[in-house]
Chain A
């Protein structure tokens, strides 16, 4: 089983070195071969299970309550400006 590692790495926003790409190709290939045995199972008309609690639509009132202060919220980064998170530009000036 061969994965297009470069394509997946782009989707996953994961920067990889060339040696890593080679190693991942083989290791992920092995794991996928192991997973292939699921094709033996007849799952016609079987509903998928995504969670086992049986709970649905747990909501609360849309009321603001205590939260972190702005200083607390940005406390774990050095890339901040005026109490806001600083990120790379996504729009250019052209």
Chain B
């Protein structure tokens, strides 16, 4: 029963075909069996999960109609959980026990979920492979010699290997979309500000986007309807109304204009990945979508902008870890964290601020203008997520710059705040790949519509890893 999707599980729980306790026990068993190979979990909260499941069953019995009642999930270990150790996958916080829940954790609990545990990631969300975790790297369930992608490595690997029904993650420069694409699952980076960041350990405050990883597009829409919304504890959440994201899911793509930004399909992109995306575009065209070549002229400058803005904000956000109120001392930070703190401090320092940080902020304006202009002519854009198929553990970990190059296609939507949905497009050498559907701000319903149409023709989610 651990291979159920969210919508299937909700149906079966409602019809009393299964109980939340049975489902939760099945997932806890699955974690015990499979996670030693995958290392997706840092903390498994077995007792708490069983208690929550029992409570959920009582509510189901009483006819309560909460949107995620009885559903076992897991959270990236950046989400603070009251009374449950939260580490950010770093030894600096290995003993930190939060005194309150993040807003999203509270919302998910109120929606009736059962929390199975906290998921592994690159420490502080710094990374594209999961190899920067202080608790060992997570493995790709489709081939454990390969990376699952990062930084939400555990979030993607756990869903792909049926160790939870869906997981929560964060995407600052691609950290949900990349691992989702490497693990054959669906990853959503919502519009910046759509989902509250309160209580989620901050990486880069103008970029952090709180999203989730699911088995299918429909599941993703269901989750967003719960997590989206203004929060008084996060001043960057606008009062834009929350749509019923599952409502127009099956409306199809007839007449929809899909932009194909030419700068994303150039020499930087592996030709095999390009072929898979071209196939996907053709299949959407067959369903009535119109493909329109677009241009985002400043694309190649997005990654350099990102590697100024993000480390600058990281250096500020990590200043609080001084060992006084929580956590260990700053010498315990891992290599990647130290690199980013140093880079960020440098580009913000006196004498260099204008040349680097101010310049980056100006180019950010140009990137945003590119996107706004493109969306005057098209409804959504489709682009690659990763320039390459999944790579082996150890392949890029010795060269920080080569790891940063994994981000070239994902940082653009992060800098402009646009929402993007990563969906599976098929396998290369038995390893998963994905593409991203990018839309205007607050157009997640459109992304789901396109994703659903494409997904139902291929159903890659039925191809489970061999564990």
Residues on A lying within 8 angstroms of B by beta carbon are 3, 5, 8-9, 11-16, 20, 24, 27-28, 30-32, 34-35, 37-41, 43, 46-53, 55, 58, 60, 68, 72-77, 79, 85, 87
B396 on the interface (CB 8 Å rule)?
no
Question: Given known contacts A68-B100, A75-B97, A77-B325, is B342 in contact with A14 (CB within 8 Å)?
Answer: yes
Is A55's CB under 8 angstroms from B304's CB?
Answer: no
Q: Closest residue of chain B to A78, judged by CB?
A: B95
Contacts of B206 in A (CB 8 A): 50-52
Q: Closest residue of chain A to B333, judged by CB?
A: A14
Is B193's CB under 8 angstroms from A53's CB?
Answer: yes
Q: Closest residue of chain A to B313, judged by CB?
A: A50
Closest approach, in angstroms, between the C-beta of B401 and any C-beta of chain A?
5
Interface size on B, residues (CB 8 A): 56
Question: Given known contacts A38-B360, A53-B192, A76-B326, is B368 in contact with A8 (CB within 8 Å)?
Answer: no
Question: Given known contacts A31-B343, A53-B236, A55-B238, is B338 in contact with A13 (CB within 8 Å)?
Answer: no
Q: Closest residue of chain A to B95, judged by CB?
A: A76
The 9 A-B pairs with the shortest beta carbon distances in the complex, nearest first, are: A48-B361, A52-B417, A76-B326, A43-B362, A58-B235, A12-B345, A72-B99, A46-B362, A49-B364
Additional 19 contacts, C-beta under 8 A, given A35-B307, A38-B360, A43-B359: A8-B349, A9-B342, A13-B319, A13-B322, A15-B331, A24-B338, A28-B342, A31-B400, A34-B307, A34-B401, A39-B359, A41-B366, A47-B362, A51-B206, A52-B416, A53-B238, A55-B235, A76-B96, A77-B324
Contacts of A9 in B (CB 8 A): 342
Is B342's CB under 8 angstroms from A24's CB?
Answer: yes
Is B99's CB under 8 angstroms from A68's CB?
Answer: yes
Q: Label chain A's interface by main secondary structure.
A: loop
Contacts of B305 in A (CB 8 A): 38
Is B365's CB under 8 angstroms from A28's CB?
Answer: no
Contacts of A41 in B (CB 8 A): 298, 301, 359, 362-363, 366
